[in-house]
Amino acid sequence: AKAEAERATALELAVAEAQEQAAKGTNLTSPAPQMEGAYGLGRVAMAEEIAAWDVDVLPDGRGLPVGSGNAFDGEEVFADKCASCHGDFAEGVDNWPVLAGGFDTLADEDPVKTVGSYWPHLSTVYDYVYRSMPFGEAGTLTPDETYAIVAYILYSNDLIDDEFELSNENLANFDMHNKDGFVIDDRPDLEYATWRVEPCMDNCKDAVEITMRSVFLVETPPEGGTNSMMNPAKVEGLPSFSSDGPSFIPEAAPKPVKAAVEAAPEPAKADDGDVLIEAGKKVFKKCKACHQVGDGAKNKTGPHLNDLFGRTFGSVDGFKYSNTFKTALEEGRVWDEASLAEFLSKPKAYMKGTKMSFSGLKKDSDQQAINAYLATFGN
Amino acid sequence: SPDTLITELQDWASITGAGVDETPYGLPIRFEADVIRRNVEWLTASPISSINFTPIHALDGTITPQGCAFERHHSGAIELTKGDYRLMINGLVDRPLVFTYEDLERFPRENHVYFCECAANTGMEWAGAQLNGVQFTHGMIHNMEYTGVPLRALLNEAGLGAAGDFKDKWVYVEGADASSNGRSIPMEKALDDVLVAFKANGEALRMEHGYPVRLVVPGWEGNMWVKWLRRVEVTDAAVESREETSKYTDVYEDGTARKWTWVMDAKSVITSPSPQMPITHGKGPMVISGLAWSGHGQITRVDVSKDGGITWETARLGKQGDTKALTRFYLDTDWDGAPMLLQSRAMDETGYVQPTKDQLREQRGENSVYHNNCIQTWYVNAEGIAENVEVS
């Protein structure tokens, strides 16, 4: 009982102390304590453990393992391990990075940032290739293979000849084209200094015009993923704004995204060709972001679709097809209404590996309409 | 006529519902199945090295549920067990150390809410209004409560005597996945508020966010928040890895580039109404809502314009802004049914005011990719449909 009473007293004291501290505004949510010495947690890392993980390479070459390689040897390694994504000449396949060229484009509208045109240090190339490449087989390259690949990338950029022997001795001294192209973050001087002002609240502008509408209308179907289509809408016909509000209230316009979906035609009658073609034209809006038809149609993200029926799969000149279409070309498969319908119902299932990101046409009526519409462009 | 939902006996009011444990770890009810991360397939070559977007249009408050917080992988999300996890501290330290997961949980730990924003968030919009949805223009962001150990505690454990003067020292951090995604962080930041985190929103990190351990670098670009953190090396120079030279640098009009642009400047966006969240109720009372954040500290004020920036009203903050965390704002208003050009403008505790697109372009041109924190405009038409636009 005595012990119990002592415990109760101690508890009361503790509560009183906490209340007193709280009353004084003492911060009970202080940060984690700073340690005076070490907690003695963890264990010492062994030299061979550090050697296994600490492989990063600094711009001055520290961290480079002993080894060497040249572009002549590198070409073979690159073709074997890198070219499937980066191309035989480091020109890049699909959306994978381009590694060569682009010199003097950095000030252009769409700069081509390659190892040759942009990377400031050659150490970075070695470091990245050795640790993180090839994609899906990281950490499998030997130092000599890595030097050879780095040499081949330099060679692809016309920065060395194919006999140049790159090694741990000379890599850090190699001057990259864009080595002086970087400045350290200067936002504090150029931006913060001028943008830290009390902002305007009233009559900040006389009038406001809409100058651009979104390029891609993104559909977000409940089942996930996205479909996007080009927005054909123009800025003309939209109100301007002043402090009195909008200049006018526009006539009810069709909802842009829904419009394309709802425009899908009713199941068409076979003898009603013109209606079907017209409906197909509307359905084709979903395709227009990537495919052109008609006079002067060019390849864009997808190949042009003139003369589609009767044409062999993957056969349009100048278009870079995925491997699945290259295989289909070799097999001599030919587009007809049935194959197109099957492809469009589930593109990724019908042509596994296709680059086409479109999720497909779900309605038979849409497919009939597309067939009728595309048939009007040749064959 | 009376509402039959009220006057007639409904099944759910009569028949019993699901028992406990029907879903031992619950998911959102199926009617919310569209509140999910989404990607834009044509943006990247492969989903293994890609990004998706948080459905910020459909969320409210500030905390992002882990299950819909955006993902960014460079070589895919890996499965790494706590048992197989090792963290090495090496380089200019007195005692290079290896910690197990269990070791980390024995250090004093802290809880903080922070936003994590990819430097490329809104990056597609430099050249003009591109993607029609706030999920896609601003969804490379999430905001969670992290539990973890300050990085400084682990560095102290290894001893920083060998590092000498901290002024020109760095820590180089890398992950255990195939990309390893190494970044260099100045020692000053490493000793300030960087956390080695193992819980988010109270539970273990998700695989896609770096289970079991990731780095949290408050206010700085998401690329530095290394997932599956396996090594911290104290160095006397920046490594200048691929992720801090060829990527995550900002090219300007004359072809030069800024590097080490780590801080995410103040930014805000209206999440509703927005293209994925049209006004469906017609005229009358409505709530305009959005998010604001700053890598420099607290959000102190958000202004909203309905006329493209001619006049501004100060919005109400859901609660006082946490430092380097999302702040929710609301403008409770009355819609007269006329078209609107909605904009929001954030200010932070340093007095920084979120710039317009024109201000940013004047400074940087249109080729930057990263760090686009411009004021966003939604055109809301008389039917309540919103669209991503640019204005004069």
ipTM: 0.94
Mean pLDDT of the A229-258 span:
82
pTM over 0.95: no
pLDDT band at A29; cut points 50, 70, 90? confident
Q: Is A239 on the interface with B (CB under 8 A)?
A: yes
Cα–Cα dist B249/B191, whole Å: 24
pLDDT of A298 over the 90 cut: no
CB B186 within 8 A of CB B170: yes
Mean pLDDT of the A116-134 span:
97
Q: What is the pLDDT of residue A167?
A: 98
Residues from chain B that touch A209, judged by Cβ atoms under 8 A, are 391-392
- For residue B368, give how far its alpha carbon lies from the nearest alpha carbon of chain A (Å): 10
Whose CA is closest to B352, among B304, B309, B297? Answer: B297
Contact B303 A42 (CB under 8 A): no
- For residue B31, give how far its alpha carbon lies from the nearest alpha carbon of chain A (Å): 10
Q: Is the peptide bond before B47 cis (omega within 30 degrees of 0)?
A: no
Q: What is the DSSP letter of B220?
A: B
Cα–Cα dist A164/B85, whole Å: 42
pLDDT band at A267; cut points 50, 70, 90? very low
Task: Copy the structure tokens of residue A340.
Answer: 């197109």
Q: What is the pLDDT of residue A252?
A: 65
Tell me the mean pLDDT per 10 residues along chain B, length 392. Answer: 97 94 93 92 87 97 98 96 98 97 96 98 94 96 98 95 95 97 97 98 98 98 98 98 96 94 98 96 97 98 98 96 96 97 98 97 91 98 96 96
What does DSSP say about strands B170-175 and B229-235: parallel, antiparallel, or unpaired? antiparallel
Whose CA is closest to A357, among A208, A219, A237, A192? Answer: A219
pLDDT of A263 over the 60 cut: no
Cα–Cα dist B232/B97, whole Å: 10
pLDDT of A199 over the 90 cut: yes
- For residue A209, give how far its alpha carbon lies from the nearest alpha carbon of chain B (Å): 5
Cα–Cα dist A365/A357, whole Å: 21
Contact B385 A256 (CB under 8 A): yes
Q: Is A353 on the interface with B (CB under 8 A)?
A: no
Nearest to A32 among B153, B339, B359 (CB): B153
Residues from chain A that touch B312, judged by Cβ atoms under 8 A, are 199-202, 204
CB B378 within 8 A of CB B273: yes
Residues from chain B that touch A131, judged by Cβ atoms under 8 A, are 180, 182
pLDDT band at A379; cut points 50, 70, 90? low
Contact A41 B390 (CB under 8 A): no
Contact B391 A246 (CB under 8 A): no
Q: Find tokens 């064959």 and name the residue.
A: A379
Sign of the torsion formed by the C-alpha atoms of A319, A320, A322 and A327: positive
Q: Is A218 on the interface with B (CB under 8 A)?
A: yes
Whose CA is closest to A197, among B350, B291, B321, B316? Answer: B350
Nearest to A49 among B44, B98, B387 (CB): B98
Using alpha carbons, list the distances in angstroms from residue A325 to A335, A379, B85, B200: 12, 21, 43, 44
Q: What is the pLDDT of residue A26?
A: 60
Nearest to B180 among A115, A132, A213 (CB): A132
Nearest to B40 among A205, A226, A250 (CB): A226
Mutate: best of A64, A216, A231, A234, partner B, most B CBs <10 A:
A216
pLDDT of A302 over the 90 cut: no
Residue of chain A nearest B356, judged by CA positions? A195
Sign of the torsion formed by the C-alpha atoms of A176, A178, A183 and A187: negative
Please provide the average confidence, as pLDDT, over all residues in chain A: 86
What percentage of chain A carries pLDDT values higher than 70? Answer: 87
Nearest to B75 among A138, A215, A222 (CB): A138
Mutate: best of B31, B90, B387, partner A, most A CBs <10 A:
B387
Nearest to B45 among A58, A95, A195 (CB): A95
Whose CA is closest to B125, among B142, B111, B139, B104? Answer: B139
Residue of chain A nearest B307, judged by CA positions? A241
Q: What is the pLDDT of residue A265?
A: 43
Q: What is the DSSP letter of A51?
A: H
Cα–Cα dist A173/B306, whole Å: 57
Q: Is A336 on the interface with B (CB under 8 A)?
A: no
Contact B312 A190 (CB under 8 A): no
Residue A149, classed as helix, strand or coil, is helix
Residue of chain B nearest A133, judged by CA positions? B179
Whose CA is closest to B291, among B317, B252, B255, B264? Answer: B317
Residues from chain A that touch B381, judged by Cβ atoms under 8 A, are 250, 253
Nearest to B237 among A58, A206, A243 (CB): A58
Q: Find tokens 């016309």 and name the residue.
A: A158
Q: Is A237 on the interface with B (CB under 8 A)?
A: no
How many Cβ pairs within 8 Å bridge chains A and B? 317
H or E element: which one contains B183?
Answer: strand B183-186
Residue of chain B nearest A53, judged by CA positions? B231
pLDDT of A288 over the 80 cut: no
Q: Is A254 on the interface with B (CB under 8 A)?
A: no
Residues from chain A that touch B88, judged by Cβ atoms under 8 A, are 45, 49-50, 53-54
Region of A241 (left: φ > 0; alpha: ψ -120 to 50; beta: rest) is beta
Amino acid at B139: G
Q: Is A124 on the interface with B (CB under 8 A)?
A: yes
pLDDT of A264 over the 60 cut: no
Residue of chain A nearest B253, judged by CA positions? A107
Q: What is the pLDDT of residue A270?
A: 45
Residue of chain B nearest A44, judged by CA positions? B97
Q: Find tokens 């619950």 and name the residue.
A: B26
Residue of chain B nearest A140, judged by CA positions? B178
Mean pLDDT of the A310-322 span:
87
Mean pLDDT of the A159-179 span:
95
Task: Copy the structure tokens of residue B276.
Answer: 């994925």
Cα–Cα dist B138/B270, whole Å: 10
Cα–Cα dist A182/B266, whole Å: 24
Q: Is A332 on the interface with B (CB under 8 A)?
A: no
Contact A183 B379 (CB under 8 A): no
Provide the CA B229 distance to its chain's centre, in angstroms: 19
Q: What is the pLDDT of residue A258?
A: 44
Q: What is the pLDDT of residue A255?
A: 52
Cα–Cα dist B65/B74, whole Å: 22
pLDDT band at A219; cut points 50, 70, 90? confident
Residue of chain B nearest A217, judged by CA positions? B132
For chain A, how long is the longest CA-to-CA vector?
104
Cα–Cα dist A278/A162, whole Å: 59
Residues from chain B that touch A196, judged by Cβ atoms under 8 A, are 350-353
Q: Find tokens 């209404």 and name the residue.
A: A337
Contact B129 A186 (CB under 8 A): no
For chain B, how long is the longest CA-to-CA vector?
82
- For residue A379, give how far its alpha carbon lies from the nearest alpha carbon of chain B (Å): 31
Whose CA is closest to B72, among B263, B269, B199, B224? Answer: B224
H or E element: which one contains B114?
Answer: strand B110-117
